[in-house]
Structure 1
Amino acid sequence: MQRSPVGVVIATRDRSAGLALTLRHLLALPERPEIVVADNASTDDTRALLARDFPQVRVLALPFNRGALARTHGVRALRTPYVAFSDDDSWWEPGALAEAARLFAVHPRLGLLAARTLVGPENEPDPLNKVLADSPLGTATDLPGTQVLGFLACACVVRRTAYLDAGGFHPLLFFGAEETLLAYDLAARGWGVTHCPGVVAHHHPAPGPRTDRPAVQRRNELLTAWLRRPLPYAMARTRAVAAEARRDPHARRALREAAARLPGALRARRALPPYLERAARLLDTDTGGTAGTDPGGPV
């Protein structure tokens, strides 16, 4: 049986039990995708488990934690024209990868497809589904679905050439709210970024809050503003976080960590083209600037 034109990349760190469950779901898919696990220097039994129980899965044993950049290592290792991302707590509905491949094949400008995400054993719709479906950016005649500038990294499929053309996930952000910057960079190069609800992913995040996630997300939202948005906008966002930092420890940490990374952000700064800045502002108004962040990705 011929393998799928969609490969799967999983970035993981120290979550061997969840990774094993994800791999069992992915290996049972009728599309039989090639799977690459990019292991971010796990200290648990992840690598032993992969070697023992999943010899058919390709493993990239990274020497240290590369954050979201591990996904780019995985994309480079694959040669499939399309790449789906899973986390170690997410997988794809049977038939979803085949539908994604069909959409990419008939829409050559499509660079990234954001799936509809179902959460937990009850298959509850992720609240982001509605945000993406109601995007004010509307449709384009040469693209499927609704145009967006946000997605969940654990529930998206990319055209490999488009992802590499855009540079992949930015190393400055590491993990947390890294999706918006990639969406900006794809769209700035003319690639379409859309939400296609006919492609379905499942996400089973561990219960309970992740205490560091709010600060990391806010830090990366600030850095994304400095990397791509107009300077007055970036300064206004920074002033707002500074005001919140007087009473909010998450804001204090976000501000401190963003300041440490600011020189790197300024060196890599590349403002969005005017048409894309207008789209970003429209989405800021519509969603409060929070669409497209994954609260449960690996760190």
Structure 2
Amino acid sequence: MEKAINTNRRIQTGLSVIIPAYNAAAYVRQTIDSALNQTRPGIEIIVVDDGSTDATPDILASFGDRIRTIRQPNQGPAAARNRGITSASGTWLAFLDADDLWLPDYARIMMERAKQTSEDVAAIACGWQHIDVNGIPEGQAVALNFKSVSFKQLLLGNRFPPVAVVARRSAVMLSGGFDESIYGVEDWDLWLQMTLRGYKIISVREVLAAYRQVPGSVSRNVIRLRDNSFKVLGKVFESSLLPPHLASLRELAYGLVKVWAGVNLFGVDLRQDGLTELTDALISYPALLNDSRAYYAILCAEQPLAWRGTGHELDLLAAEKRLKQIIAQAFQNQPALATTYRSRSQQLSHQTLARLANMQGNPQLAVTHAWRSLTHCPSISGFQDLFRFAAKSLVTRNRI
């Protein structure tokens, strides 16, 4: 049974934001200012100083009574957030890491949406923009367009960072809070535990948060994150709350975690390790060969994180070569996979390449890959939009 957070306290209406801070002197002032400068006033700002040894305590003290500061020995961000939860008075909680930012309308828009929700809505997510260490936007903003994210979508990769979420306090507590034994993906674990209990997570369309990529941050500890993601999945698939029909997702869920680890190894310049991880993923979890998400991830492995999954800054020829290399190595190591999946892998490879070429505005290449895909699976279903786009683009180009 997961540890539940103590609920024996009076809950008031409103929004409390919890900011865990450990040696965050470089960014924490900007972060707190972004919470103070909201167009919606009356936010309770709680900063949990998680044993900082730099100038963080002095910076926090400079804000006076505009924020509440809690100091504790270093225990990690999950424990710091839980400490903030037990001290918060808001009905809704927000989790703002000490290097991330809110746009000025974050609290207003999120709380307006919160007022319209029923009790079965545990959390609301917004879109976010990647920023670099200097606060400069990177890549394409991530805008959410789901009405309600399903447990399956969340399990198989529909993730969002803490900065983009406000959560109902009662749902957080009933779901056990942040698991302090999990590193780096404790937020994903909490969202999954919420949806396992029948809660909904909904979204707003607006991009309201900035998510900073810091060299040397948690997100760069790839193998540790992979292993902790496996731990999250272990909790899910061992839970008595898991509907029986979803147990079949085990192989795909574990496989996608391993694929993301391989892709992230590319992101920290460990290319050969990434190739090995991706090849091993296909061998260990063959269900990946039947799922387009794996193909997208592998093809986009060398893109900058902020652009990943789009056609921007993507060498499609090099990406195709890499995908073929990984699949060929997997088939060589496990010949039985080739017998079962060769045709399907070629179909999904070309289908994914067609869509990425489409994103790059290359209709001729998109149509070429689409036709190649159809030779391995003669169904036009799902390609109508692509062919319409390609035909229109070709006609327009010929008129110029």
Is the TM value for this pair above 0.5?
Answer: yes
Give the Cα separation in 1 of the matches to 2:98 and 2:252: 33
Give the Cα separation in 2 of the matches to 1:102 and 1:284: 37
Give the Cα separation in 2 of the matches to 1:224 and 1:63: 25
User: Would you say 1:119 and 2:133 are equivalent positions?
Assistant: no
Match of 1:223 in 2: 231
Quick one: structure 1 residues 289 and 73, their matched pair in 2 at CA, closer, same or farther if it must change by over 3 Å? farther
The structure with the greater share of residues assigned to helix is 2
Quick one: structure 1 residues 223 and 93, their matched pair in 2 at CA, closer, same or farther if it must change by over 3 Å? same
User: Aligned letter for 1:60?
Assistant: I
TM-aligned CA deviation for residue 60 of structure 1: 1.2
Give the Cα separation in 1 of the matches to 2:114 and 2:245: 24
Is contact 2:38–2:106 with CA below 8 Å preserved after alignment? Answer: no
Identity within the alignment, % = 24
Give the Cα separation in 2 of the matches to 1:97 and 1:71: 19
TM-aligned CA deviation for residue 194 of structure 1: 2.9
5 Å-filtered alignment, 1:142-181, equals 148=154, 150-173=159-182, 175-181=183-189
Give the Cα separation in 1 of the matches to 2:63 and 2:105: 25
- Relative contact order (C-alpha < 8 Å, sep 6+): which is higher? 1
Match of 1:250 in 2: none
Quick one: structure 1 residues 280 and 103, their matched pair in 2 at CA, closer, same or farther if it must change by over 3 Å? farther
Quick one: structure 1 residues 276 and 171, their matched pair in 2 at CA, closer, same or farther if it must change by over 3 Å? farther
User: Aligned letter for 1:123?
Assistant: P
Unaligned runs of 5+ in 1: 231-268
User: Would you say 1:274 and 2:241 are equivalent positions?
Assistant: no
Match of 1:17 in 2: 26
Larger Rg: 2
Give the one of 35, 47, 50 matched to 1:26. Answer: 35
Give the one of 78, 93, 102 matched to 2:88. Answer: 78
Q: Which moved more, 1:186-195 or 1:118-127?
A: 118-127
Q: Deviations over 1:6-34 (max 9, x none)?
A: 22111110011210111122111122321
Q: Over aligned residue pairs, what C-alpha RMSD do you find?
A: 3.5
TM-aligned CA deviation for residue 193 of structure 1: 1.8
User: Aligned letter for 2:242?
Assistant: L
Quick one: structure 1 residues 72 and 211, their matched pair in 2 at CA, closer, same or farther if it must change by over 3 Å? closer
TM-score by length of 1: 0.69
Is contact 1:69–1:168 with CA below 8 Å preserved after alignment? Answer: no
TM-score by length of 2: 0.53
TM-aligned CA deviation for residue 204 of structure 1: 2.7
SS state of the match for residue 111, structure 1? strand
TM-aligned CA deviation for residue 64 of structure 1: 2.8
Q: Which moved more, 1:214-223 or 1:114-123?
A: 114-123
Match of 2:56 in 1: 46
Give the Cα separation in 2 of the matches to 1:74 and 1:228: 25
User: Aligned letter for 2:122?
Assistant: G
5 Å-filtered alignment, 1:253-264, equals none
TM-aligned CA deviation for residue 154 of structure 1: 2.6
